[in-house]
A = this chain, B = another copy of it.
């Protein structure tokens, strides 16, 4: 590579990462999956938009040929191999066994029905589903069936966490069913890849490829798991920590990937199974997981998903009828499967629907599956675009629909209810009464409440029992009828105000908590969160050193909670 090529490579990676992460963050702020933003970044920088507006720029940044194209392909391949390693690590087989019966029923029915319906649909109406002339009918039908029946574990896990349902019974049932789906779905897809018998494969008989695939899975999940479980403590004991385990995990993923590429199925399958075997060991500690996970989620994955948009023109290949057909078929299949499975497992109708919508999310996994099928020639761009849109729409629907069905209530946290307009850096109050006055005035200016009434309510509450909670923090509060949502006014008073705390110390941080009367829980939740966050006396000190709302919020977000 020449210096010019290197310069362009660095520039293109930087641009890709910047735009993908920025749009990914934006998507998350709008409560959408990050992968949506990351794909959009690729669509903006690729042939769909930039290639149309400024073909010269697009071509020199992201050329289709030459060394820079190879470099991008190499990085994207490594990225996806590592992404599947992380996905594999998240697959915790023991959850499935522990959850047992219901999870397995949801998992099995939730796969069998979409698979059967998909097979049938692809067989009966292949043209409507985007089968191109010349495609092998059986392989196409099997692919479509698999594509309809998988579920995206990462998206589901995140949705459940956002709704505060992850550790609930329903959450664990959905997660264990999704793990089962993931595992079976990828094995099925690997077999389909094997049936394609690509020319470059080193194992050229289809039965041999399928045999190798099943043998690899069986070996990795038995002897491989056993060996890893024994190797990890030795690595932790005798190599740098966590570096030793980190390198070992990556080497395992790379070798697994090379092996599955060699037998004629895709590289990512090997790193996924390596991840499953690795993640199952309780010796893989949290800190190692976090390092791999953060680097992959925030560097490699965004670059990979953005690179998809660079390859495909999403406008030219958009076929509204096909998109609608695929989307409808996908939702019907999976909702039927998930809901019936949950009913079979004995869940109520309402819960069963929620399970159905949860399982319906396809997320990143579906996109990867589609991309591999596209690369292998099983499908063409038109169907690929429809699959990507289906994956994103099902993921976007999952959270809101579950929330609509279940009305889950999750603990409110301080950082969720703060706002820059409700932040007073310099409280000048000398006493409790004045401090409460200053904070209520600000609250009423912003939320349009009646100052006198609010102040009276807060003060009455304060007189019954002072709200200094110690460690330099006070949480005066009131419930009022005329707000729809909880709000907190944060005040910092460097001289300190006596709030009659049990430890006798004055309050330097005063949080006025105003909550709706109809939601009595939120006040307690926010108060508890404040108490927990400022349990460590160092936090007060750091908070007093922040010079703006942004720094204050940054402190809260960048200090991991002690759980």
The residue of chain B having its C-beta at the shortest distance from the C-beta of A234 within the complex is B550
Give chain A interface residues in 239-255, CB to chain B under 8 Å: 239-244, 246-247, 250-251, 254-255
CB within 8 Å for A247 and B298 given contacts A254-B13, A558-B241: yes
The answer to the question of A9 belonging to the interface, with a C-beta cut-off of 8 Å to chain B, is: yes
Q: Contacting chain B: which of A14-22, A128-136, A480-488?
A: A14-22
Given known contacts A70-B67, A240-B298, A251-B17, A267 and B551 CB-to-CB distance under 8 angstroms: no
**CB-CB nearest 5 A-B residue pairs:** A14-B254, A236-B554, A71-B74, A243-B298, A237-B553
Whether, in the assembled complex, A407 has its beta carbon less than 8 Å from a beta carbon of chain B, the answer is: no
Closest to A246 in B: B298
A519 adjacent to chain B (CB < 8 Å): no
Name the one of B3, B75, B78, B233 contacting A200, with C-beta atoms under 8 angstroms.
B3
Closest to A294 in B: B291
How far, in angstroms, from A9 to B71 measured CA to CA in the complex? 12
Interface size class of A (residues with CB under 8 A): 35 or more
Which of A257-265, A391-399, A510-518 contacts the other chain? A257-265
Nearest CB in chain B to that of A253: its residue: B14
User: In the assembly, what is the distance between CA of A535 and CA of B336, in Å?
Assistant: 53
CB of A25 within 8 A of CB of B267, answer no
B258 contacts A10, C-beta separation under 8 Å:
yes
In-complex Cβ contact of A11 among B4, B78, B255, B285 (8 A): B255
Q: Does A77 contact B (CB under 8 A)?
A: yes
- A154 at interface, CB cutoff 8 A: no
Q: Do A14 and B291 contact each other (CB < 8 Å), given the known contacts A70-B1, A70-B67, A267-B6? A: no
**Is A460 among interface residues, defined by CB-CB distance under 8 A?**
no
Q: Which residues of B contact A254 (CB under 8 A)?
A: 10-11, 13-14, 17
Is there contact, CB below 8 Å, between A10 and B201? Answer: no
In the assembled complex, the Cα of A233 lies from the Cα of B243 at a distance in Å of 29
Q: A14-B255, A17-B251, A241-B558 are in contact. List 14 more A-B contacts (CB 8 A).
A: A7-B258, A8-B258, A9-B77, A10-B81, A10-B257, A17-B254, A21-B247, A29-B238, A233-B550, A233-B551, A235-B554, A236-B555, A236-B558, A290-B291
